[in-house]
Structure 1
């Protein structure tokens, strides 16, 4: 995943640059903190304000239905007022049904020429007010594309960022923070 966020509460004041350097020295190789910001006292927790995630599902084009079929499936899905799916418990028992349509903000299907792949960008609701997994959305899209239901395992899903959803997408922290 890209653009991960976290909250750390500290007792002593420390310069943000020094904080980042100290933290990075403690992290395993390949993992790093790129910035930090200071929240106002009394500000809500990040988990309370982050309510959208941008996912990219990508798959090589070999043996993949044409991109136009995926675009049509995305358009058809977005025009539906309800998309009812079974909600499963961790033990794989069905515990009810839920309408996931309100949790799908946008779907964009595009070609990644450099990778020879088809990509689906999914802006989805996440968080405490409800949400949907990108895998569930991909399953619904595959239902609209003949022969693709059995091929879902070939897709690679990557979270590109977490956001605050409103009239425009906002990053939870200022640039560089």
Structure 2
């Protein structure tokens, strides 16, 4: 049995965190086991405990990484678009779309983790820090929090009503409301 190099161990850990983040947002933290995460990347469950103390540690790290990745994407939008207002407008359109609604695994961690963390306070500090960072990118203070709440709430309602005409109506109405929040 060959030993894994430190570089390979770091790469494996990164794969575990990324896969866990996607699966947790897609299926919920409670419905995803360590075995599910490891199987998704073709590794054994035994390898997990060489990298993480527990599933709790993985959830915390996967949450932090998901929010860090989201913030990097948001900051990149500022670079792509001509100013923050254009980036915000682009985010509204992409966030409140049927494609985002139908792909929770690669979507926003604020929406993806909301249900789990509302029921289980164990990871709320990491989640709250991510929410503050995202809201801060949108706009200062209350405006950013209100705008993010509009996006996340609308996305959750649209997911819950997917397949009905109401789902698209929610997305449309929320796009209009979100745009007005930061004017």
Q: State the structure with bigger RCO (CA 8 A, min sep 6), 1 or 2.
A: 1
Which structure dedicates a bigger proportion of its chain to strand?
A: 1
Query: Scaled by the length of structure 1, what TM-score is found?
Result: 0.25
Query: Scaled by the length of structure 2, what TM-score is found?
Result: 0.25
Which structure dedicates a bigger proportion of its chain to helix?
A: 2
Structure number with bigger Rg = 1
